[in-house]
Chain A
């Protein structure tokens, strides 16, 4: 158990819908990262927050957004969902930047 929690574990929804994935970092970690893992593209970095502020951005679609709250938990919002958004979404946290990242168990999103 890495200490990073993610909810829900599984999510099944329809195209065009909007979902929110939630992540709680390890106690004391200020950085939260979101990754997408699909069958054909491996682990892709989406976005990072550090102590509530956006720190780095990857190939995150405009339909996706995220935020980190004062209690340091983070949410990833996915809207206008498409079939191709079906993937595992992982959250990771680290004490600060440039550090070992600890991954949560992931949320499996299925878009039908």
Chain B
């Protein structure tokens, strides 16, 4: 069940390696950012979020880095597992409407066994 377009950038990593997924956001006034994971045929699943008063936040096996200077967000996944294979989206809040998330186009992560 495809859920996103066929022209997604794809990151292929070896199982056990670390993965870094990057995202450039558009609005310098955005102050809340989220990473979602979407597996085939499922809805997006929350991974981790970060507010603009922070530049790093860690979760279980995941770290989000925020560089406001260059409007860049990254998601680091440690010891990548086959179950991490999915499409990953970053999202930023719309500064004009703090209730609306603007999603990036997504990156497909493929984990090689």
Given contacts A56-B100, A88-B3, A98-B99, contact A43 B46 (CB under 8 A): no
CA distance A64 to B102 in the complex (A): 20
Interface size class of B (residues with CB under 8 A): 20 to 34
Complex contact A103–B44 (CB within 8 A) = yes
Contact with B along A2-41 (1 / 0, CB 8 A): 1010000000000000000000000000010101010111
Q: Interface residues of A toward B: which range?
A: 20 to 34
Cα–Cα, bound, A1→B48 (Å): 17
Q: Is B93's beta carbon under 8 Å from chain A? A: yes
Contact of B103 among A31, A42, A88, A105 (CB under 8 A): A42
B residues adjacent to A (C-beta < 8 A) = 1-6, 32, 34, 36, 42-46, 49, 89, 91, 93-94, 97-106
Is A110 interfacial (CB-CB < 8 Å)?
Answer: no
Asked, given contacts A45-B100, A90-B43, whether A39 binds B4 with beta carbons under 8 Å apart, the answer is yes
Residue from B3, B49, B100 within 8 A of A37 (CB atoms) = B3
8 Å CB contact of A42 from B43, B98, B105: B105
A98 → chain B closest CB, angstroms:
5
Question: Which of B3, B46, B102, B105 has the largest count of A CB atoms less than 10 A from its CB?
Answer: B3
Taking a contact as CB atoms closer than 8 A, the residue among A41, A44, A56 that contacts B99 in the complex is A56
Residue in A40, A50, A97, A102 whose beta carbon sits within 8 Å of that of B46 in the complex: A102
Task: Give every chain B residue within 8 A of A35 (Cβ-Cβ).
Answer: 103
Contact present for A37 and B99 (CB under 8 Å): no
Give the contacting residue for A103; candidates B1, B2, B43; CB below 8 A: B43
In the bound complex, CA of A4 to CA of B89 (Å):
19
